[in-house]
Chains A and B, each alone.
Chain A
């Protein structure tokens, strides 16, 4: 079973920030939070990951609560091309540990014009 809980769907207006929440209340101390997205009929795409500090890259920002039981992915200026299913995944680092990715159902984000 997936170790994360996400809302099944969200809407966002184009140009506004999209804030996607994720609950991972059973996260272990060595587990990282990863976010991937999957645009329709394409393979998943890595977005960002973090352990306990907030992270930012050219795609998004990741805010992790101090107790690490939840996080929020922020797309600062959503565009129509950001319409996708967003997956929040927690797993420990290690050689080949991408085999342990347990994907839930994700959040289907619709960015509206």
Chain B
């Protein structure tokens, strides 16, 4: 399977713990996006990378959240001191170079904070 891969698929953590998610985009895609989706809602943009550069962060991305893409390939999203409100599906997507391209999404990581 050469699609976008996310790991883990599910994560249950206690409030206050740190969690880290990984995203492996389609190999030739230089753009990578993180979204968050709560139950019954559409995805919300969190942050965007072009290669290793983080070019934009949503105001939804509080200082407890950090994302990296160190070599322009895989990316990680870390949440520190998790809160119950962080419970959501975290989606990663990638897209190729080009002016007009669609996003290819991974299966997501479902986080439950108890």
A105 to B50, CA, bound (A): 28
**A93 touches B (CB below 8 Å):** yes
A49 to B103, CA, bound (A): 12
Whether the Cβ atoms of B48 and A46 lie closer than 8 Å is no
Whether the Cβ atoms of A98 and B95 lie closer than 8 Å is yes
Contact partner of B42 among A87, A95, A100, CB < 8 A? A87
Task: Say how far B61's CB is from chain A's closest CB, in angstroms.
Answer: 12
Which residues of B from 59 to 114 have beta carbons under 8 Å from A? 91, 93, 95, 99-108, 110
A6 to B102, CA, bound (A): 21
| Across-interface contacts of A81 in B (CB, < 8 A) | none
Total interface residues in chain A, CB < 8 Å: 23
Task: Say how far B106's CB is from chain A's closest CB, in angstroms.
Answer: 5
Whether the Cβ atoms of A96 and B31 lie closer than 8 Å is yes
28 A-B contacts (beta carbon < 8 Å): A2-B42, A42-B108, A43-B4, A43-B105, A43-B107, A43-B108, A44-B43, A45-B105, A46-B104, A87-B42, A93-B99, A93-B100, A94-B99, A96-B31, A96-B50, A96-B56, A98-B31, A98-B33, A98-B93, A98-B95, A98-B101, A98-B103, A99-B48, A100-B45, A101-B103, A103-B44, A105-B41, A106-B42
User: Which residues on A are within 8 Å of B, measured CB to CB?
Assistant: 2, 32, 34, 41-46, 49, 87, 93-96, 98-101, 103-106
